[in-house]
């Protein structure tokens, strides 16, 4: 069975374009529920990535799962079609994948953490139910990985004081 990559998407731009984009996501979600399978606006998507378990969070955001890695081809297609900006935060920590992908009509950027950057967040107990980063602790590893990723996006050092 494939590892599941979690994706959280925000859409921005002209309100009518965002609404049109989200309406297409709703249609894909209905198709997914009806056919009990993954979906894509492309048939088939060039990267082979289908979207599963879509959940529409609000008027400009949704989440979904993919097998192994994000569905950039599907999101790129929808971004170009509706002339919006898409931000996709994704993670599949079993494969060491954590990043953020941006796409608009001018192009795209993918910023992701390398293994050594992910390793700056350390499990401090046997079950890894507590994580530590720069002297702080949390029950959620993603809290700290988000900080490391934001630093990388902003061009700051991703290295912890502890590394």
pLDDT of amino acid 158? 67
Quote the domain boundaries for residue 56.
Answer: 4-111
pLDDT of amino acid 129? 87
Question: How far are the Cα atoms of 114, 115, 121 from residue 10, in angstroms, in the given order?
Answer: 24, 26, 26
Residues 107 and 119 in one domain: no
Residue 163 lies in a domain: no
Instruction: pLDDT tens for the chain, 163 residues: list them.
Output: 568 999 999 999 999 999 999 999 999 999 999 999 999 999 899 899 999 999 998 999 999 999 989 999 999 999 999 999 999 999 998 888 999 999 999 999 999 999 999 999 998 888 888 999 999 999 999 999 999 999 999 999 766 555 4
pLDDT of amino acid 159? 62
Tokens of 156: 């700051």
How many residues in the chain?
A: 163
Residues 29 and 98 in one domain: yes
Residues 53 and 121 in one domain: no
- The pTM assigned to this predicted structure is 0.89
Residue 146 lies in a domain: yes
């Amino acid at each position: 069975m494939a590892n599941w990559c979690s994706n959280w998407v925000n859409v921005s731009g002209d309100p009518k374009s965002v609404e049109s984009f989200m309406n297409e996501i709703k249609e894909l979600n209905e198709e997914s529920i009806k056919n009990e399978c993954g979906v894509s606006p492309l048939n088939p998507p060039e990267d082979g990535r289908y979207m599963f378990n879509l959940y529409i969070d609000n008027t400009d955001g949704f989440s979904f799962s993919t097998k192994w890695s994000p569905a950039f081809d599907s999101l790129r297609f929808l971004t170009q079609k509706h002339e919006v900006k898409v931000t996709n935060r994704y993670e599949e920590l079993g494969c060491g994948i954590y990043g953020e992908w941006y796409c608009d009509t001018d192009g795209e950027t993918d910023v992701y953490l390398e293994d050594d950057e992910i390793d700056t967040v350390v499990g401090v107990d046997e079950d890894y139910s507590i994580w530590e980063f720069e002297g702080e602790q949390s029950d959620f590893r993603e809290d700290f990985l988000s900080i490391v990723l934001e630093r990388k996006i902003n061009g700051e050092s991703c290295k912890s004081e502890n590394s």
